[in-house]
Amino acid sequence: MIPIKVAGSDLGKLAGESRSPAATALQYLQPGALNLTALPPLSLYIHFPWCVRKCPYCDFNSHEAKGALPEKEYLDAVRLDLEQSLPMIWGRKIHTIFIGGGTPSLMSAAGLDRLMSDVRTLLPLALDAEITMEANPGTFEAERFKSYRDSGINRLSIGIQSFNGNHLKALGRIHDEAEALRAVEIARSTFDNFNLDLMFALPGQTLDEARRDLQTALSFAPPHLSMYHLTMEPNTVFAKYPPTLPDDDTSADMQDMILEATASAGYQHYEVSAYAQSGRQAKHNLNYWQFGDYLGIGAGAHSKISFPHRVLRQARYKQPGSFIEAAKRGNPVQEEHEIARGDMGFEFMLNALRLTEGFDPNLFGERTGMSISAITKALNEAEGKGLLYRDHKLIKPTELGQRFLNDLQEMFLGS
């Protein structure tokens, strides 16, 4: 946590703004401005936008690789993006890094080494920084992953999704069951810390098949598991041509099975979709859920950056070519806005309510610059409906609240 000084250089004056520090300060101190007494922890997200093939359920900013990737040109643009972002975060330490996509494991070993070198040159990293990279089992090469580790990656997140060949085909994945098993073996022998992504409620999936997927994953004793319910996201192939999915009762049975099996194996269910061995929670994701700050660089990346009297959100250009050209021109940010004071309570609770063990009420004030009284009405209503537990030290969703999390979160809209 970094104490905030109310001085011109600390007011978050962005590169390219024409306001003077005095004028900026005057704007921030108007009625309705926030009052953060300290800045939250800061993470770095780096987006690599290409993949081998777009999966029919995927709504992430990913683009099928056609021909040779413009890796050097893209990494040049990412460095420019980072350099142009430095005035917003000057002097702040990076606690976690996450390289996501797309399929970052399509990056060459030399490219990843160059990327990490650029980051270390431009940013102060915490000595114990968690540095995660996403990987697709269809791209695993043992020697390349050893090179990734040597470049500084200390945590791998593997998109397994299923160990069942038929379900992998239905999901449009580029790997088969054998490649999935091999990927986990390589990860386990190369990295001390890794995560396995699995999905359930897949097209045609039975409860027994979901159980076998989970048992296979647990047999590797991964430090961390992410278990996602397949959803039909807008603007995906599955949304346009929906497959036949398990009914709600079967999906609920799968969820109950997952909770029981992971608990029996010694995993803590600490976030809606996340299960971890003791001390192995994903620090990067925890920072999101605790409404920490993150700088997102690369095509389509999103940022949330706090200043003494405002919180800023940004989004980069999504198309890789457009992002590269915008970075060369000096501003890869396509959209930018401040979070309105009236939306701050909802934005905080949208994230924090995902934590099954809840949060200290003081965290609300630390991260929003507002009093917890701003959401008292919604808290009372949620507590009255049995969706929320709270006392002077803790606010957390009840078991019922976890089951109906969307309904619980929506109660804080406009609070």
**Which pLDDT score is estimated for 161?**
93
Rounded Cα–Cα distance for residues 171 and 361 (Å): 41
**Which pLDDT score is estimated for 338?**
96
Same-domain pairing of 129 and 201 = yes
Among candidate residues 264, 286, 308, the one where a domain is terminated: 286
* 29 domain residue, yes or no: no
Same-domain pairing of 63 and 201 = yes
Rounded Cα–Cα distance for residues 356 and 400 (Å): 11
Question: Which CATH number does the domain housing residue 259 bear?
Answer: 3.20.20.70
Same-domain pairing of 88 and 227 = yes
End-to-end CA distance of the chain: 27
Same-domain pairing of 271 and 361 = no
Same-domain pairing of 53 and 150 = yes
Same-domain pairing of 362 and 277 = no
**Which pLDDT score is estimated for 175?**
82
Question: Which CATH number does the domain housing residue 384 bear?
Answer: 1.10.10.10
Mean pLDDT by 10 residues, the chain (415 residues): 30 30 35 82 97 80 86 98 97 97 93 98 97 90 90 96 91 86 93 96 96 97 96 81 90 96 98 97 98 98 96 97 97 96 96 97 96 95 97 96 95 86
Among candidate residues 239, 256, 286, the one where a domain is terminated: 286
* 150 domain residue, yes or no: yes
* 24 domain residue, yes or no: no
Same-domain pairing of 267 and 379 = no
* 218 domain residue, yes or no: yes
**Which pLDDT score is estimated for 32?**
61
Same-domain pairing of 158 and 238 = yes
Same-domain pairing of 254 and 375 = no
Name every residue whose Cβ is closer than 8 Å to that of residue 355 and which is 6 or more positions away in sequence: 270, 271, 289, 290, 396
Residues 147-187 have pLDDT tens digits of 999 999 999 999 999 999 999 888 888 888 899 999 999 99
Helix segments in 290-330, DSSP class H: 320-329
Please count the structural domains in the chain. 2
Helix segments in 290-412, DSSP class H: 320-329, 341-352, 361-368, 376-384, 399-403, 405-410
- Residue range(s) defining the domain that contains residue 411: 341-415
Among candidate residues 286, 313, 331, the one where a domain is terminated: 286
* 332 domain residue, yes or no: no
Same-domain pairing of 208 and 130 = yes
Same-domain pairing of 151 and 217 = yes
* 25 domain residue, yes or no: no
* 184 domain residue, yes or no: yes
Q: What type of residue is 152? A: G
Residues 298-331 have pLDDT tens digits of 999 999 999 999 999 999 999 999 999 999 999 9
* 73 domain residue, yes or no: yes
Same-domain pairing of 195 and 123 = yes
Residues 329-362 have pLDDT tens digits of 999 999 999 999 999 999 999 999 999 999 999 9
**Which pLDDT score is estimated for 2?**
36
